[in-house]
C-alpha cells in the first residue's frame, strides 16, 4: 500500500517497540502476549492520536490552515495530542469538550485538562453530552474566519479517511517488526472507540495480504452502533488506495463498557492493576484499561489459546490516569 502518496508530518523518530510480555503471559496462563507500545509515540505523553495527526496536520498545512479545532470528551487524549501538534507547528488550537457524564468537567482538574493549560490552549468550549460536535466546531471555525484566520477542523479522535492512514502505517510497521523477530501473529487486539485505530489496522493488515485478524474491544458503544462506524471508516480509507474493503472482517467485541463511557468497571481495575504489577506498563481507565479487560475476558473464555501470539496495541492515555485515581481505591 503506497502511503507515500499522502502528505505526512513525522512527529516520532523511528518505530515504537513491539515487546513480549513474559510476566503477564505467565499470570494469565494463556497465549503469548505482545504489546505494541504506541503509548511511546511523540507529543506530550504520546498515544495513538499522534499517528493520525501526522496525516491530519499535513493535510491542514497543505490547505493553508493556521488554526486547529477539534473535540473530545472530558480528559480527551485526542484533544491533548492535537493541541501538542499545534504547539509543534506554531498554531493556536481550540477545543470543544463534550461533558458526556453530567458534572464531570472541572476547569481545575488534573490529568489531560492540566496539560491543556500548560500547553496554552487557545480556548475551551464545554458543551453538554449528546451535542452536535461538528456544529459546535463549525461555530468556532466561523469565529476564527471572522478574525482573519484559516481554521482546520479535526473530527473527534482524528477518525476519518485522512487520520486513519496513521494506523494503516502502524499495521505496516508491525508487519515489518514481526518479520524481523520471526513472529507469526495470530491476532491483533485494540481499543475500538472513535474508530480510526481499529479501522486503520484492519485496512493495513488486510490490504497487505497478511490475513491477520483485528479484534476491536468496544469502549463506548454496542456492536450494532460500533461495527457500522468501523466499516464506514475502513471502507473510505481503503478507497483512497483504490480498494474495496470487505465488511465481514470487521470484528467488534462488546460487554466491557460497563455502566458507560469513562465509568469504571471491576474488570478495568483488574486489567490496569495487573499490567502495572506484572510489566510496569500503565494503561488508562477509559480506553486501554477496558480494552485490555476485554482481552483478558477473551482469554478466559478460550477464544485465544496457548501457543498463539496476540499483539495488544497500547494506544496510550496514561496522563489521564491521574485524574481517575479514585477508581482504584487504596
- Identify the CA nearest to 72 among candidates 291, 269, 286, 227: 286
Q: What percent of the chain has pLDDT over 70?
A: 100
Mean pLDDT comparison of 71-80, 101-110, 321-330, highest-scoring range: 71-80
The SS3 call for residue 219 is: coil
Q: Which of the pair, 201 or 318, is modelled with greater confidence? A: 201
Q: What is the mean pLDDT of residues 83-94?
A: 98
- Identify the CA nearest to 221 among candidates 193, 262, 197, 263: 193
Dist. CA 18–CA 180, nearest whole Å: 11
**Please, are residues 11 and 52 in contact by the beta-carbon 8 Å criterion?**
no
Q: What are the tens digits of pLDDT across the range 254-301?
A: 999 999 999 999 999 999 999 999 999 999 999 999 999 999 999 999
Please identify every residue annotated as catalytic.
Answer: 76
**What's the confidence (pLDDT) of residue 102?**
86
Percent helix, strand, coil in the chain, to 5, is 45, 15, 40
Q: What are the tens digits of pLDDT across the range 105-116?
A: 998 899 999 999
Q: How many CB atoms lie within 10 A of CB 203?
A: 30
Q: 74, exposed or middle or buried, with CB in 10 Å at 0-12, 13-18, 19+?
A: buried
* DSSP state at residue 154: E
**What's the confidence (pLDDT) of residue 226?**
98
The answer to whether the Cα torsion of 319, 323, 329, 330 is positive or negative is: positive
Pairing of strands 67-73, 151-154: parallel
pTM above 0.75, yes or no: yes
Q: What are the tens digits of pLDDT across the range 126-168?
A: 999 999 999 999 999 999 999 999 999 999 999 999 999 999 9
Residue-range domains of the chain with CATH: 3-47+161-328 (3.40.50.1100), 49-158 (3.40.50.1100)
The SS3 call for residue 291 is: helix
CA 14 centroid distance within chain = 19
Whether the per-residue pLDDT at 330 is higher than 80: the answer is no
Q: What are the tens digits of pLDDT across the range 167-212?
A: 999 999 999 999 999 999 999 999 999 999 999 999 999 999 999 9
Amino acid at each position: 500500500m503506497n502511503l507515500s502518496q499522502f502528505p505526512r508530518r513525522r512527529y516520532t523518530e523511528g518505530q515504537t517497540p513491539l515487546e513480549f510480555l513474559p510476566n503477564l503471559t505467565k499470570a494469565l496462563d494463556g497465549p503469548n502476549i505482545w504489546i505494541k507500545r504506541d503509548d511511546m509515540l511523540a507529543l506530550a505523553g504520546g498515544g495513538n492520536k499522534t499517528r493520525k495527526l501526522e496525516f491530519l496536520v499535513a493535510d491542514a498545512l497543505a490547505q493553508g490552515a493556521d488554526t486547529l479545532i477539534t473535540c473530545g470528551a472530558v480528559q480527551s487524549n485526542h484533544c491533548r495530542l492535537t493541541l501538542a501538534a499545534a504547539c509543534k507547528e506554531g498554531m493556536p488550537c481550540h477545543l470543544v469538550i463534550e461533558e458526556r457524564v453530567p458534572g464531570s468537567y472541572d476547569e481545575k482538574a488534573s490529568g489531560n485538562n492540566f496539560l491543556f493549560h500548560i500547553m496554552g490552549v487557545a480556548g475551551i468550549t464545554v458543551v453538554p453530552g449528546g451535542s452536535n460536535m461538528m456544529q459546535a466546531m463549525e461555530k468556532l471555525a466561523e469565529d476564527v474566519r471572522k478574525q482573519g484566520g484559516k481554521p482546520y477542523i479535526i473530527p473527534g479522535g482524528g477518525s476519518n479517511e485522512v487520520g486513519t492512514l496513521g494506523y494503516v502505517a502502524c499495521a505496516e510497521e508491525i508487519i515489518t517488526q514481526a518479520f524481523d523477530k520471526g513472529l507469526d501473529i495470530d491476532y491483533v487486539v485494540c481499543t475500538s472507540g472513535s474508530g480510526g485505530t481499529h479501522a486503520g489496522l484492519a485496512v493495513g493488515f488486510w490490504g497487505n495480504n497478511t490475513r491477520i485478524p483485528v479484534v476491536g474491544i468496544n469502549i463506548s458503544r454496542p456492536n450494532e452502533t460500533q461495527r457500522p462506524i468501523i466499516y464506514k471508516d475502513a471502507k473510505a480509507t481503503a478507497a483512497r488506495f483504490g480498494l474495496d474493503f470487505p465488511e465481514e472482517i470487521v470484528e467488534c467485541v462488546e460487554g466491557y463498557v460497563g455502566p458507560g463511557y469513562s465509568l469504571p468497571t471491576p474488570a478495568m481495575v483488574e486489567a490496569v492493576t495487573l499490567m502495572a504489577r506484572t510489566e510496569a506498563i500503565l494503561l488508562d481507565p477509559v480506553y486501554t484499561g477496558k480494552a485490555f479487560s476485554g482481552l483478558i475476558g477473551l482469554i478466559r473464555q478460550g477464544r485465544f489459546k496457548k501457543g498463539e501470539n496476540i499483539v495488544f496495541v497500547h494506544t496510550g492515555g496514561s496522563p489521564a490516569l491521574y485524574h481517575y485515581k479514585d477508581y482504584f481505591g487504596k
